[in-house]
A and B are shown apart, each in its own frame.
Chain A
Amino acid sequence: MRYLPLTSEDRSDMLARIGASGVDAFFSDIPAEKRLAQTLDLPLRKSEMEVSRLLSGLGAKNTAAGSVPFFVGAGAYKHHIPASVDHLIQRSEFLTSYTPYQPEIAQGTLQYIFEFQTQVAALTGMDVANASMYDGSTATVEAVLMAHRITGKRKAVLSGGLHPHYAETVRTFSHMTGDASTALPPDVFATENMGAMIDADTSCVVVQTPDVFGNLRDLSPLAEICKAKGALLIAVFTEAVSLGLVTPPGAMGADIVAGEGQSIGNSLNFGGPYVGLFAAKARYLRQIPGRLCGETLDAEGRRGFVLTLSTREQHIKRDKATSNICTNSGLCCLAFTIHMTLLGEAGLRRLARINHANAVDLADRLGAVSGVEVLNKTFFNEFTIRVPCDGAELIERLAEKGVLGGVPVSRLLPGRGLDDLILVASSEVNTPDDRAAYAQALRGAL
C-alpha cells in the first residue's frame, strides 16, 4: 500500500474550505505555550534496518517486565500465558473479525462469546454477563450509568478503596452527563463506612475487592444496607484471578459487577487493549450495556448461538440505547476464554492459590526487613507496605538494583500524604529467588 501524505496544495485547499488563513490560525484555540515553537528536529528518512536498530536501542533502555524480578500490579497483572493462547487467537477467522452485527452469522465467534459470558457469570457469581467492555474502568462507568437508569437517581458513591483511575473515569463521565459522584478519601485500611454515605439521591455505591490497597472486603453487610436504602451495589475488581479463591461478588449480594479481565489470557500490553468484564442480576437484563449472545435452537433443532436483546443497543435504538458501546473487546475476550478453558475450574483455583501463597511468602520476607511494615490484614496477591522513606524514590533505587518493586501510592494518589506507601504484587511468575532478591534489594536500598 502506498502512503500518500498531504501535499501543500491539499493542505491549503482544506484550510481554504474551512475558512482558516493558515495552520497556526487553525490551531489558535490551543494556548500558544502548549504549541511547538519550531518544527521537530527529526531525520527526514532512514532505512528499515536503521529504524529497527535505533528503536531496538531505545527499547533496550527499558527494564522490561519479564527481564527482572517483577512485583508491579495496581490494576494490571503479569501472569503466565500459555503459548497456545496466542497461537489460537491468531487464526485469521478470529484475528480479523469485528464484533458481529448479523445476529446469527459467524457461529464460531458467537460460540466463544457465549462461552466467555458463561465463564464471567460463573466467576462473578452473577446471572448474566455481556460480551465484554473496553476495560475495567469503562465497565465501571457503564455499571454506574446502568444503576442511574434502573433507580432513576443520579449520584454514585465511590469507595476510597476503588482504583483511582476507575474513580477518575467515573468522574470524567459524570462531568459530561451532569450526574453526581462522591469519591471517599483513600481508605488504606478498609475501614470506611459506605452505608452511611447513602442518601435519598444515591443510585449506587461502587466498591472494589480486593481493593486498590489489596484488602479483601466482605460486601454482604453493605449489600443489606443498599437494599434497605434503595441503592444498587456495584462490585469492582482489577485482578480476575482473585475470583479463583475469594467469595464471588454475586454471593455477597452485588447487583452489578464490573472488572478487569486482563490478568487471564492477556499480557500487560502497555496498559491496553484490555477486556472489561460486566455482569448483573437477571432482573436488570434489559438495562445491560453492550453486546449479548444467547444460545438457541435452529429450525432443525440444532444448538446455535445468536446475538440477543439487541433492542438495547445503539445500532438499533440510537439515542435511546442503554449505552454508546456497540462493540466488545473481541480478541482480548477470546484470549480470556481460551486461557480460562485451558485452566478449567480446578486449574483456576490452583493458580489463585499459588498467587496467594507467593504473595504471603513475599509479605513475610518484606515484613522482616527492618523499617518495613505490611499494612494489610487480608490480601490476595497484592498488598501495601509502609517504608521509612519516600516510596517513589525507593522504587527508583530498587530499579537500579534490578528489581521492579511495585507502584508507589503517590503515583496513583499524589498529594494525599501517602508517599511512604507502596503497592506490591506477586503472581505465579515470581520464583522464591525473585522474592529473596526483592527483600535483599530492599535492605540495601533503605
Chain B
Amino acid sequence: MPKILYSKDHEYIRVDGDTGIVGITDYAQSQLGDVVFVELPLIGKNVDKGAEAAVVESVKAASGVNAPVSGEVIEINRALEETPAVVNEDPAGKGWFMKLKLSNPSELDALMDEAAYGAYVQTLG
C-alpha cells in the first residue's frame, strides 16, 4: 500500500518502494485557479529537496513546483503538456507531474501525513 506524504509547499508524493509520484495538492490547485500550462523537467534530471522541479502556470500566476524530496526524475506526465486542466480536475490522480527515484528516502521523515497536512491547511485559513 503506497503512502502519501505532503510538503508545506503543497506538493504530495505517493511513495512506492524507492520511487515516488509527485504532484500538487487539491488545495494548491484550488488556490492557483485554472491551470493553463505545465513545464516539466527532463527525464534523468536530478532534483534536490525543496528545489524547483517543474513550473505550473494558471490564469493567475506562474509558480514553481518543488521536489518534496531529492531524487532523479524517471518519468514525467507528458499528458499535462496537452491537457494541463487535469491538474485541476484530478490533482491526486491523472494530474501527477513526475516520478522520482528517491536518492535519500530519509528525507520523507520530514514530510506530513494526510492528517497533519489537513491540519496545516486549516491553519492557512
Contact = CB atoms under 8 A, between A and B. Distances in A.
Contacts of A320: 52, 55, 62, 64
A152 B55 CA distance: 15
Interface in A236-271: none
A423 to B, nearest CB: 41
Given A286-B37, A286-B39, A320-B52, A311 B62 contact: yes
B42 to A, nearest CB: 4
Interface residues of A, number: 6
Contacts of A152: 42, 45
A393 to B, nearest CB: 53
A413 interface: no
A323 to B, nearest CB: 15
Interface string B33-56: 000010100100100000010010
Interface in A122-151: none
Contacts of A316: 62
B26 interface: no
Contacts of B89: none
A317 interface: yes
Interface in B44-93: 45, 52, 55, 57, 62, 64
Interface string A277-314: 00000000010000000000000000000000001000
A316 B37 CA distance: 15
Nearest to A150: B42
A317 B42 contact: no
Contacts of A317: 62
A311 B42 contact: no
Contacts of A286: 37, 39
Interface string A315-346: 01100100000000000000000000000000
A147 to B, nearest CB: 13
A286 B37 CA distance: 9
Nearest to B36: A311
A286 B54 CA distance: 13
A289 B48 CA distance: 27
B63 to A, nearest CB: 10
A187 to B, nearest CB: 32
Interface string B7-49: 0000000000000000000000000000001010010010000
Contacts of B62: 311, 316-317, 320
Interface in A369-386: none
B57 A311 contact: yes
A304 B39 CA distance: 28
A310 to B, nearest CB: 9
A317 B37 CA distance: 14
A431 B24 CA distance: 68
Nearest to A316: B62
B62 to A, nearest CB: 4
Contacts of B45: 152
A286 B52 CA distance: 17
Nearest to B52: A320
Interface string B90-111: 0000000000000000000000
B36 to A, nearest CB: 9
Q: Which of B45, B55, B62 has the most CB of A within 10 A?
A: B62
B52 to A, nearest CB: 7
Q: Which of A152, A286, A311, A317 has the most CB of B within 10 A?
A: A311
A286 to B, nearest CB: 7
Nearest to A310: B62
Nearest to A318: B62
Nearest to A317: B62
A320 B52 CA distance: 10
Contacts of B39: 286
A317 B39 CA distance: 14
A313 to B, nearest CB: 10
A246 B50 CA distance: 50
B37 to A, nearest CB: 7
A152 B45 CA distance: 9
A240 B23 CA distance: 46
Contacts of A311: 37, 57, 62
A396 B39 CA distance: 56
Nearest to B42: A152
Contacts of B37: 286, 311
A345 to B, nearest CB: 34
Contacts of B55: 320
A286 B36 CA distance: 12
Contacts of B52: 320
A152 B52 CA distance: 15
A141 to B, nearest CB: 22
13 contacts: A152-B42, A152-B45, A286-B37, A286-B39, A311-B37, A311-B57, A311-B62, A316-B62, A317-B62, A320-B52, A320-B55, A320-B62, A320-B64
Given A152-B45, A320-B55, 11 more contacts: A152-B42, A286-B37, A286-B39, A311-B37, A311-B57, A311-B62, A316-B62, A317-B62, A320-B52, A320-B62, A320-B64
Interface of B: 37, 39, 42, 45, 52, 55, 57, 62, 64
Q: Which 3 pairs of residues, A with B, have the shortest CB-CB distance?
A: A311-B62, A152-B42, A311-B57
